[in-house]
Structure 1
Amino acid sequence: MNWVEILGYVASFLVAISLMMSSIVRLRWLNLAGGITFSVYGFIIGAYPVAAVNAFIACINVYFLIKIYRSQVIFNVIKSGSESGQSGYIAYFLDFFAEDIKQFYPDFSRRLTRENREYFLLTEQEKVVGIVSGIRHSDEHFEIDLDIVTPAYRDYKLGHYLFGANNIFANKFGFRKITANVQTKEYQAYLEKVGFTQQATHIWEYQTPSNF
């Protein structure tokens, strides 16, 4: 196998992997890389129709990536209620994503009936795309044990919106201390990305600024 054949396999791999992405942005980037690699491969082996089609596909991906990054994304977080007042929509959402919740938050079902549970809807413009839920331990301390969003929004943007530089979640609802109950490596990796640090086994914390 020479380097040209390897290039063709790499191109095929990139295109195939891109189609497995739930995030549209990741899909576009990987598909762009695959299209460019396939186009180069096509020119090298003299398969000009293959090169031309994949160059066109790469251009389409560039167009949509520019459109995505230039578009104004309007996120919001809305308090929905307590466990006793769980809305029909929340119950539907939890049931619809029951398998994902079991995979990423295996302790949630056991903690579901804890007192002082609250739910927050995550929205993108008028569309509900996720739910944050947890236990309010005091007026200033909230412990998250569920942060589930639809597959297309699992790219940290919502996490950075909630817990990033402006710390919308804490500021909007008056929390000085936010902790998270962590049961899986996937959730741990997410928390690290959005600014949490580990404090104890299964407990991660995002401390809001002292001048809050």
Structure 2
Amino acid sequence: MAILLYQKTITLRKEVFMNTKVLIEAIGYTGSALVLVSFLMVSVVKLRIVNTIGSVIFTIYAFIIHSYPTAIMNLCLVMINIYYLVKMSNTSQNAREYDLVKVSPDDSMLQYTIERQKDDVEKYFPGTTDMVSDTNTAFIVCYKGAPVGVFAGTKDENGCVDILIDYCVPEYRDFSIGKFLYANLQAEGISSVTFSGPDTYHQEYLSKNNFTKSGDRYLKVL
């Protein structure tokens, strides 16, 4: 009887050990996968956020298996990521980093930027890339002289612009361009903006920039 009980205890301990080992390995694989996936992301902000999460998980794994050099390396990665995330957050809030350039709807740089990003623009604003020249109001948002966002729409006599395109390149898709843009449009004689296009991929952006839905369109008073 005692031998049988001992054997059951040993078996149970082995099962617990195996389950614990599997759990620990799962933690390690999860951390590694997140770090790897982060490098596939276009947005630098998302890359650093996901990389930080992966590094934290892998740090825990490294401490569990007593791999202290690996743990220290990943802790350093976490601190580096946090440093740059804070720096990017401060930069995003600084409107002076961007420049708003008013252009004509048929401006060559505007057309070039839209054409260069055509597939992505069409994803967010289907069927609009060939209609920009029909609008009467357009702006390019630049960062250090490079175009990173475009805005085009039709302005009525009351200063309300019906937005056709309000697009920013993936690398700067952290809502900072939108905040900068709408903080400066009033100085350009625009009192309000509306958007009535598809919102499948645009809803979060509209919400972050305080648009309110009214019927089948979104409205923002400046």
TM-score by length of 1: 0.83
Q: 1:132 deviation in Å?
A: 0.4
Distance 1:144 1:112 in 2: 10
Q: 1:188 to 1:59 in 2, by over 3 A?
A: closer
Judging by fraction of residues, say which structure has more helix: 2
1:87-166 matches, cutoff 5 A: 87-109=107-129, 111-114=131-134, 116-163=135-182
Give the match for residue 189 of structure 1.
204
Q: 1:17 to 1:182 in 2, by over 3 A?
A: farther
**Amino acid in structure 1 at the alignment position of 2:140:** L
Q: Is the 8 A contact 1:139 1:174 kept in 2?
A: no
Q: 1:110 to 1:67 in 2, by over 3 A?
A: closer
Partner SS, residue 40 of structure 2: coil
Give the match for residue 35 of structure 2.
15
Taking only aligned residues, the RMSD between alpha carbons, in angstroms, comes to 2.1
In the alignment, structure 1 residue 59 sits paired with structure 2 residue 79 = yes
Give the match for residue 68 of structure 2.
48
Q: 1:127 deviation in Å?
A: 2.5
Distance 2:145 2:131 in 1: 30
Q: 1:204 deviation in Å?
A: 0.9
**Amino acid in structure 1 at the alignment position of 2:139:** F
Q: How many residues align?
A: 199
Structure of larger gyration radius: 2
Q: 1:68 to 1:109 in 2, by over 3 A?
A: closer
Q: Is the 8 A contact 2:149 2:177 kept in 1?
A: no
- Shifted more, 101-110 versus 138-147: the winner is 101-110
Distance 2:122 2:165 in 1: 11
Q: 1:90 deviation in Å?
A: 1.5
Give the match for residue 207 of structure 1.
221
Q: Is the 8 A contact 1:107 1:183 kept in 2?
A: no
Q: 1:196 deviation in Å?
A: 0.6
Q: Deviations over 1:163-197 (max 9, x none)?
A: 3xxx322x211222210132131112211121111
Q: 1:58 deviation in Å?
A: 1.9
**Amino acid in structure 1 at the alignment position of 2:221:** Q
TM-score by length of 2: 0.79
Q: 1:143 to 1:40 in 2, by over 3 A?
A: same
- Paired-residue identity, %: 26
Distance 2:215 2:130 in 1: 20
Q: Is the 8 A contact 1:182 1:188 kept in 2?
A: no
In the alignment, structure 1 residue 79 sits paired with structure 2 residue 102 = yes
Distance 1:204 1:16 in 2: 38
Q: 1:67 deviation in Å?
A: 3.5
Q: 1:156 deviation in Å?
A: 0.7
Which of 179, 184, 187 lines up with 1:168 in the alignment?
Answer: 184
**Amino acid in structure 2 at the alignment position of 1:103:** K
Q: 1:19 to 1:184 in 2, by over 3 A?
A: same
Which of 40, 47, 50 lines up with 1:30 in the alignment?
Answer: 50
**Amino acid in structure 2 at the alignment position of 1:122:** V
Q: Is the 8 A contact 1:28 1:61 kept in 2?
A: yes
